[in-house]
Amino acid sequence: MATNEKCLKFVRSVWESFRANSGLEPRHLRVTAARPGAVNFELPIEKQHTNRLNILHGGTIASMVDLGGSLAVASRGLFATGVSTDLNVTYLNSGGKIGDLIRAEVTCDKFGGTLAYTAIQFRNAQDQLVARGSHTKYVKMAFKDPQNITHELSPKPEKPSS
């Protein structure tokens, strides 16, 4: 199995574990792509994701920054994705209304033995940048999980083209 396929399968298994064991994550979120160090996902906006103006709630975005950071850490092979130490969100545009789709791309910018740093961008149906965020995770204890596959998902250096 190719690395990106293995990564996508693993990240989706971590997402399913979140869905089964946590009550906060948006249930209809779909992981659409994953490669070591990066994950793409999307969420069809439903009533429970909106504020009183019937547009995407900032709290939904903040929750997805947290979840997205965890999925980016999972893309590096950690099943137990650590605990949050810091989370930041900057809101730039409306995320959309019920029936719209919000898309996200999250990267694991630094993955160390103690901390992992992630960054995320959200885009609305018009492809406008809606929000950006960052999430720092304490991952030291997560390396002990027997379900980890860090050795299989460590980024490989690109071969120089001839």
111 pairs with which residues across the strands? 116
DSSP secondary structure code for residue 47 in this structure: G
The two structure tokens encoding residue 26: 């948006």
Q: Answer whether residue 50 shows pLDDT above 70.
A: yes
The two structure tokens encoding residue 132: 């950006």
- % of the chain residues with pLDDT over 70: 95
Contact 142, 82 (CB under 8 A): yes
Q: Answer whether residue 158 shows pLDDT above 60.
A: no
Nearest to 131 by CA among 116, 145, 117, 120: 120
Report strand pairing: 38-44 vs 115-123.
unpaired
CATH superfamily of 3-144: Hotdog Thioesterase (3.10.129.10)
Contact 137, 115 (CB under 8 A): yes
Domain positions in the chain are: 3-144
Whether this model's pTM surpasses 0.85: yes
